Chain A
Amino acid sequence: MSGATSAAAPDAAARPERAQTPLRQVAAGFLASPVALAALVVLVLVILAAVLAPWISPQNPYDLAQLDMMDGRLPPGSPGSAGFTYWLGTDDQGRDMLSAIFYGLRISLGVGMGSAVVAGIVGALLGLIAAYAGGRTDAAIMRLVDLQLSFPSILVALMVLAMLGKGVMNVLLALVIVEWAYYARTLRATALVERRREYIEAAECLALPRHRILLRHLLPNCLPPLIVIGTQQIARAIALEATLSFLGLGVPITEPSLGLLIANGYQYMLSGLYWISFYPGIALLITVVALNLAGDRLRDVLNPRNQR
């Protein structure tokens, strides 16, 4: 951490005009916290592991030809018959848990981020419209938001999945339905403040089309809180997806996320085979905590009240 600041200091002195851009300020503020820096490093590693899973995993856990039933339920660190060590053990099918976790991260991160992006777009647009249009539109949208937020996330997701059934797309949809209201509420609150600013008035005086004012002028200035909410919502979505999959309502067995891996290990836990559930849980935990810590730091850095 001290290395990062001392390295940044001469850089800033040499080119002060570049250090003044908002992005650089935010980046410097973010990295000034050692915890946030660590969280960021962990996040990058997790994302890399997910993206590169087919290339860095010792085996493809869903290619049956590569699995050996004789290697089933081996404890962590056992040498395998395929010539590599099972550092995190194997499950009942002889599947390397490390590889399964890498592949599981793909699903978990994909569903988490995908739902956050879709919910972010839907929620942001509705929030923007509510703030800009006001009146009845605003009241209708916000009433819907209030209704949605008065029910806990797990219940809404349960309702959606009880109606639509399992499957990756249905989980994604359930998560979007759970999440959009948070974005809408946040964006409306920010946009209500921003739309009274002079630059919006100026844009209105120029008779710019409404969609241009909304998307090119209002939206970019409302982004910081949206990014903060987004980081936290990705973490929430990943945890919720894992929970739903654990309950058997989430992703199908052919595309196991971390939650489903944990669920598969549940039955072996009572007989002391802890690693099948334990390590996917640790992976889940690391991802969610890193996202939350990064989100917390982003909130502090992006909060205008905290700017010196």
Chain B
Amino acid sequence: MIGWLAQRLMQAIVVVLAMTIIVFIGVHLIGNPVDILISPDADQAERARAIQALGLDQPLWRQYTSFLFGMLHGDLGRSFVFNEPAIAVIAQRLPATLELAVTAVLLAILVGVPAGLYAGLYPNSLFGRGAMAGSILGFSLPTFWVGLMMIMLFAVQLGWLPSTGRGATRALFGVQWSFLTLDGLRHMLLPAINLSLFNISLVLRLVRAGVRETLPLDYIKFARAKGLSPARIIFVHVLKNIMIPVVTVVGLEFGSTIAFAVVTESVFAWPGMGKLIIDSINVLDRPIIVAYLMLIVLMFVGINLVVDVIYTALDPRVRLRTGG
């Protein structure tokens, strides 16, 4: 187990290193930031000074090594636009994205698991069929368009909910959160639903398929023959066994949710790091782009690693295979 873990950790490090090279070289392929950041009226001396200040006169490999060295110290360069450390700019936006993504994943579990359970137990019921059809829509509909339609219906036509921004925030542990105020929650509702639709469909289908697979198995029949109550059979015997894949997928989807928050944040003008990266790509703010991509890569590799470890710990079959 220790050997496996070490091997898995090494793999993760190699992936992160490979990604730093790809991202770093790739980002330097896009246009010259000098043209964008320095006013065209600046004279040669001013230009040279600015280039030097930004470190753009160094050869690429030197820029890379200093970037790698900086990264190990939590320094990913200064944003060209904000003139602040890139990490600080992203860290400011991180809570907004995190609370949105966490809410979306919670919604997916709170809606998806019961709905999937019901659809699995009564697959021919009206709700069961409707849930399946709805989940196809949840997969097919482009998130951004659903978001627009939600704004149109609930914000413009009905005027029930605000359409943009984060609303009032309140500090907790020195960070501003929206979910602590009523106004913030009202602002969060539409984006969170929008972001969770895909996950709801996914969890629903997963739970439904799990229930359908588990119900005919012998141990369920035996539990029934033993005279256990239907509620106990469903919630203890069925649900416990189908939760392993659900936990795995939800864990992996958390990363995707943060990535897809880019779309939802752009639609609802939610000031998170997704909106930041889109704005930064448009103005070629390289340090922010690099820092965002690296942060996301690190997060993904981390999530994958943790899910892998938990999965192995949870499921004896996987544990035996890798351990032996």
Per-position 1/0 for A266-287, Cβ under 8 A of B: 1001101010011001001100
Per-position 1/0 for B205-221, Cβ under 8 A of A: 00000000000000000
Per-position 1/0 for A151-165, Cβ under 8 A of B: 110110011111111
Chain B residues within 8 Å of A186, by CB: none
B3 at the interface (CB under 8 A from A): no
25 A-B contact pairs sorted by A residue (CB < 8 Å)? A150-B304, A158-B277, A159-B22, A160-B26, A162-B27, A162-B293, A163-B30, A164-B26, A164-B29, A165-B31, A239-B140, A243-B144, A246-B144, A247-B278, A249-B278, A249-B281, A259-B142, A259-B144, A270-B151, A270-B156, A277-B145, A278-B149, A281-B145, A285-B145, A292-B139
A19 at the interface (CB under 8 A from B): no
Determine the distance from Cα of A81 to Cα of B180 in the docked complex, in whole angstroms. Answer: 54
Please name the residue on chain A nearest to B27 by beta carbon: A163
Contacts A159-B23, A270-B163; A289 near B156 (Cβ below 8 A):
no
B137 at the interface (CB under 8 A from A): yes
Determine the distance from Cα of A293 to Cα of B211 in the docked complex, in whole angstroms. Answer: 24
Determine the distance from Cα of A154 to Cα of B23 in the docked complex, in whole angstroms. Answer: 15
Q: Shortest CB–CB separation between residue B259 and chain A, in angstroms?
A: 4
Contacts A243-B142, A262-B144, A292-B139; A152 near B256 (Cβ below 8 A):
yes
Chain B residues within 8 Å of A285, by CB: 140-142, 145
Per-position 1/0 for A217-246, Cβ under 8 A of B: 000000000000000000100010011001
Please name the residue on chain A nearest to B293 by beta carbon: A159
Please name the residue on chain B nearest to A269 by beta carbon: B152
Near A by CB (< 8 A), chain B positions 1-45 give: 15, 22-23, 26-27, 29-31
Near A by CB (< 8 A), chain B positions 277-304 give: 277-278, 281-282, 289, 293, 296-297, 300, 304
How many B residues, CB 8 Å from partner? 42
Chain A residues within 8 Å of B260, by CB: 152, 154
Determine the distance from Cα of A239 to Cα of B143 in the docked complex, in whole angstroms. Answer: 9
Near B by CB (< 8 A), chain A positions 115-165 give: 147, 150-152, 154-155, 158-165
A-B contact count (CB 8 A): 110
Contacts A152-B259, A269-B152; A239 near B142 (Cβ below 8 A):
yes
A288 at the interface (CB under 8 A from B): yes
B202 at the interface (CB under 8 A from A): no
B190 at the interface (CB under 8 A from A): no
Per-position 1/0 for B135-171, Cβ under 8 A of A: 0110111111100110110011000000100000000
Determine the distance from Cα of A162 to Cα of B289 in the docked complex, in whole angstroms. Answer: 8
B113 at the interface (CB under 8 A from A): no
**Contact across chains for B142 and A284 when beta carbons are under 8 A apart:** yes
Top 6 A-B pairs ranked by shortest CB distance?
A163-B26, A152-B256, A155-B259, A281-B145, A152-B259, A239-B142
Chain B residues within 8 Å of A288, by CB: 140-142
Contacts A152-B255, A154-B260, A277-B148; A243 near B30 (Cβ below 8 A):
no
Near A by CB (< 8 A), chain B positions 243-263 give: 255-256, 259-260, 262-263
Contacts A152-B259, A269-B148; A235 near B300 (Cβ below 8 A):
no
Determine the distance from Cα of A151 to Cα of B255 in the docked complex, in whole angstroms. Answer: 8
Near B by CB (< 8 A), chain A positions 45-80 give: none
Cross-interface CB contact of A154 among B22, B259, B289, cutoff 8 Å? B259
Chain A residues within 8 Å of B304, by CB: 150
